[in-house]
A and B are shown apart, each in its own frame.
Chain A
Amino acid sequence: MSASDQILRLEAVSKHFGGLRVIEDLSFAVKRGVRTALIGPNGAGKTTVFNLITGVFPVDAGRILLDGADITDTPSRLRIGYGIARSFQNIRLMPHLSTLENVMVGQHCRNGGVRGVLQPVNLVPHNRWRDAARAALADAGLIEYERATVGNLPYGVQKRIELVRALMAQPRLLLLDEPAAGLNPAETEALQDQLEKICAGGGLTVLVVEHDMHFVGALCEDVIVLDFGRKIAEGSPEDVRHNPLVQEIYLGAPAAEPMERHSARSA
């Protein structure tokens, strides 16, 4: 695996909060175009890894490289411009913006300069940014909600809107924090289809934090396992499932079969 295949690389990253060592000497790489999962028990530090990658917290040690470029000290605000977009564990849409406007927030990194900010996007009948956002909503089957107050929408719909918002930034790397949490089986399958579709071109790499092992097994080609802030295993879903260390930390994990069935399906 050469370095140019790696869209994201963490090198010996550590993070402490007070005396608590949340991430300890963590190194892993995500290959370009490969759907990757980051799994581990609660408290393993998965969301913290996302927060470090997006710059919410600075690292205490180590480096983060995006497509070879060192972004360790880049301010959080600029990282989305470099191509990293994310969704959140607890949906964080703007309650006072409509669905369409929320999605347009995702465009800000591409249209946020002084000229961009002063464009009358909500005034003129056809503005290319608003039209693009509308098209994206239509594409995701959400156009009927474009003027709705996001807070009143069903949970699954809000999750999909958040995904569209992240995609509007046209990222190279998409970080999804528990995208399947709270979704029913039909919605989960629809999400899986949608993610497979958007990754198909190869221009987008997806890194997913998930607890739903069926989903991970069905969607992802590469899995990284964390526990207590350290990487303890890495490989295909099948390899990871058979890893004794992983089985141990998941003490009594669900039966192996479901993962196998789904892996066969996605082959």
Chain B
Amino acid sequence: MSGYLEGVLVLLAVNVVFAYGGFLPLAAGQLNLGLAGFAAIGAYTSAYLSNVFTLPPLLAIPLAGIAAGAVALVVAVPVLRTRGIYLALATFALGQIVQAIILNLQVVGGAAGYPVTAFIRFPTIAATAAIVVALVWLLFATRFGIAVTAVHDDERVADLMGIDVRAFQIAAFALGSAIAGIGGGLYAHHFSFIEAQYFNISLSITIVLYVLLGGTQTVIGPLLGAAVFTLLPEVLRASANWRYVAFAAALIVIMALRPEGLVTSAQLRRLLGFTRAEPDPAAVAAAVPKERAG
């Protein structure tokens, strides 16, 4: 395929991974405005591992994701004691600090940026993105998904129902950060050059915005959001800056008219209802006679 098309598809795959990094905390009711910082941790750690220790990218990137997740775990305990707007601001401060620290780390180039030697092509990146999506989808098909949504909807009642609210919030936060780190690693090993200036608040905001555009009620939403953000401007042949203008404008309109985003859970249930496992007719029939008459 042409270099240009490959570039677009790689960007799509990376954005999809970033989207799921943003989706995890949002699904638990938290706004992580420091996503770019965790993406940076993933990018720089994987680049350092593959440059200096000559680890293959397919090893360096998951390790970097784990590193990003570990950092998130460490900061999660104090950060998640804050709530709502304070939480968003704490993650914002975190992202800014990470960016500032990297700017000062001469060992990875500092302000001049860091070239990455190893290179991965689109098929690898697409496969990684697909695995991330599949894993998140699987995760949300377990009781984890129900518990996290319960925490998002009503923390107090979730707690009374026996759900460990803090544990799930920390898990969602750390997992999301790890996924963002993997996205950063993928980005680093394809575009061959990373700089701290790229992993700024704009990036965090952009990711959060396209996740919200797609909708956080279902696992499909982030995928759709990333796709719309990446592909629609290509179709419309928009320049880099008009792309952001259009995207921001679209988001403002959508937040006004349909704040749940493009895909909602009710919609999805209706759409997919017929493919879900039908209740066992025998079991239901056996249960029904117990219903009181009238």
Contact = CB atoms under 8 A, between A and B. Distances in A.
B81 interface: no
A240 interface: no
Contacts of B279: 134, 143, 146
Interface in A39-67: 54-56
A254 interface: no
Contacts, number: 131
A105 B280 contact: no
Interface in A124-163: 124-126, 129, 131, 134-135, 138-139, 141, 143, 146-147, 149
A49 to B, nearest CB: 15
Contacts of A124: 277
Nearest to A88: B157
A120 interface: yes
Contacts of B234: none
Interface in A80-135: 80-81, 86, 88, 92, 94-98, 101, 104-106, 108-109, 111-112, 116-126, 129, 131, 134-135
Contact of A97 (B141, B149, B165, B291): B149
B146 A104 contact: yes
Interface string B145-166: 1110110111011111111110
Contact of A169 (B150, B161, B269): B161
Contact of A139 (B144, B162, B269, B290): B290
Contact of B269 (A98, A119, A194): A98
A77 B292 contact: no
A129 B288 CA distance: 19
Contact of B161 (A96, A109, A117, A190): A109
Contacts of A239: none
Contacts of B150: 94, 97, 105, 108
B142 A96 contact: no
A125 B143 contact: no
Interface residues of B, number: 40
A139 B276 CA distance: 21
Contacts of B145: 122
Nearest to B159: A77
A117 B142 contact: yes
A143 B283 CA distance: 12
B256 interface: no
A15 B88 CA distance: 34
Contact of B280 (A80, A92, A126, A165): A126
Contacts of B157: 88, 92, 94
Nearest to A140: B291
A80 B159 CA distance: 9
B161 A80 contact: yes
A165 B158 CA distance: 12
A159 to B, nearest CB: 15
B287 interface: yes
Interface residues of A, number: 52
A68 to B, nearest CB: 21
Contacts of A120: 138, 141-142
Contacts of A190: 292
A77 B153 contact: no
B283 A135 contact: yes
A147 B143 CA distance: 16
Given A56-B156, A106-B161, A126-B277, A134 B144 contact: no
Contacts of A169: 161-162
Contact of A138 (B163, B164, B288, B292): B288
Nearest to A138: B287
A138 B279 CA distance: 10
A78 B269 CA distance: 32
A117 B138 contact: no
A112 B163 contact: yes
Contact of B147 (A98, A108, A129, A194): A108
State the 5 A-B residue pairs at the shortest beta-carbon distance, nearest first: A109-B162, A138-B287, A125-B277, A94-B153, A123-B141
Interface of A: 54-56, 76-81, 86, 88, 92, 94-98, 101, 104-106, 108-109, 111-112, 116-126, 129, 131, 134-135, 138-139, 141, 143, 146-147, 149, 165, 169, 190, 193-194
10 contacts: A94-B158, A96-B153, A101-B146, A105-B158, A117-B147, A119-B142, A120-B142, A141-B291, A143-B284, A146-B279
Given A76-B160, A77-B162, A124-B277, 17 more contacts: A55-B160, A76-B159, A77-B160, A77-B164, A92-B157, A94-B158, A96-B149, A98-B269, A101-B146, A105-B146, A108-B143, A112-B147, A122-B142, A123-B138, A134-B284, A139-B291, A147-B276
